[in-house]
Amino acid sequence: MEEITQPQESKLKKIFRELWYFLSSGIFLKNVAFMLLAILGLFLLVYFGMKGYTNHGYSMQVPSFLNMTVDQAMKKAKNHNLKVVVNDSIWTNQHRPGIILQQSPEALSSVKKKRTIYLTITKAKADEKVLPSLVGSDNFDYYNRRLKQMGIRLKIRDKKFNNKLEANTILHLYIDDKRYSLEDTKRGIKVPQGSVIEAVVTTRGVGSVPIPNLKCKTIAEAEFLISGSRLAVGSITGDNSWQQGQEGYVFLQSPRFIDGNTVKVGTPIDIRVSKFRPSGCR
C-alpha cells in the first residue's frame, strides 16, 4: 500500500477545509434552515388540512329516526348536523305510508358531522304478487308456507269431505268472495301483498253420521249442510221448472231423511230441486 506523501496530504487538508468553510457558511445554513421550515410547513398544512376535511378525532352518535316521518327526520338531522336520504321503501299494513322503518347507520353508531343517513320508509301502496300455481302444489300446509314468504295470508274457509283426495288438499280459493280454481292459478292471479286468501280444503273420516233433512232448503243451504255433516254432495237434478244455474229448492233427496238414521262418513247425497218452494215448507 502506497504511503500518502506530504504534497497529497496537504491537498486533502485543503479540500476538507474548504468543505468545512462551505458547510459552516451563513448562506448554506440559511438555505438548510429554509428547506427544513418549508418541509415542516408543508407537513403541518397537509396534516391540519386533512384533519379539518375528515373531522379527524371528532365523532358523534347517530340519533334514532325510526317511526318518524321524513319531514320530522330532516329537521332532527339538521339539528345534529347530519343529512338524511330515502333510498328504499317497503310495504307493511302495520304502519301508515311514509314512516321510517330502518336507517343506516343505525342509531347510536359513531359518525362524523355531515354524514348521510339512509332511510327505508313504508310504501303508500302494496306491491302486487302473482300467486303460485296450485297445480302440483295443492297441499294446504305447503301452499301456505309459500304464500307466507310472499307476505300473503292463507286461511281455511271451509272443509269438504273427499275420500279420493288426500286430506288438506285445496279444492279452490276465494279472493274477496270470488272463487278461483286450480286452473285459474295456473294462468296467474295477482293480489296485493298483505292480502288474506281463503281456501276450501278436503277432509277425510270414518264412522257414521246422521242424514240431514234437506227438504225445502235452497241448493246453497243443502250443499252447506251436506259438507258440514262430513258427507259428499252427489248429483243435483231438477224438475221441468228448474234450469241449471238457477236457484232452486230441494223437494227430494237420496238417501231419504229418516229421523235417527245414519250413513257412513263421505256418503254422497243426491238431491232433486224445483224452481218453486215445495208445499208444506215454512
CA distance 279 to 243: 20
Q: Tell whether the model's pLDDT for residue 3 goes beyond 70.
A: no
Residue with cell 330532516: 74
Q: What confidence score (pLDDT) does residue 157 get? A: 87
- Tens digits of residue pLDDT in 177-200: 999 999 999 999 999 988 999 999
Averaged pLDDT, 151-160? 87
Mean pLDDT lowest among 20-34, 93-107, 178-192, 216-230: 20-34
Q: What confidence score (pLDDT) does residue 50 get? A: 63
Q: What confidence score (pLDDT) does residue 31 get? A: 73
- Tens digits of residue pLDDT in 42-98: 877 776 666 555 555 567 889 999 999 999 999 999 999 999 999 999 888 778 899
Averaged pLDDT, 91-118? 89
> What's the mean per-residue pLDDT of the chain?
85
Q: Tell whether the model's pLDDT for residue 211 goes beyond 70.
A: yes
Averaged pLDDT, 128-140? 92
Q: What confidence score (pLDDT) does residue 1 get? A: 45
Averaged pLDDT, 254-271? 89
C-alpha cell at 69: 316521518
DSSP-derived pairing of the beta strands 208-210 and 249-254: unpaired
**Who wins on pLDDT, 24 or 232?**
232
Q: What confidence score (pLDDT) does residue 251 get? A: 94
- Tens digits of residue pLDDT in 229-262: 888 888 899 998 988 878 899 999 999 999 989 9
Q: How many helices (H) and strands (E) does the chain have?
A: 6, 16
Q: What confidence score (pLDDT) does residue 227 get? A: 84
C-alpha cell at 6: 506530504
Averaged pLDDT, 127-148? 92
Q: What confidence score (pLDDT) does residue 6 get? A: 57
Query: pLDDT exceeding 90 applies to what percent of the chain?
Result: 47
H/E run at residue 258? none
Is residue 219 within 8 Å of 273, Cβ to Cβ? Answer: yes
Query: pLDDT exceeding 70 applies to what percent of the chain?
Result: 85
Residue 100: Cβ-neighbour burial (10 angstroms; 0-12, 13-18, 19+): buried
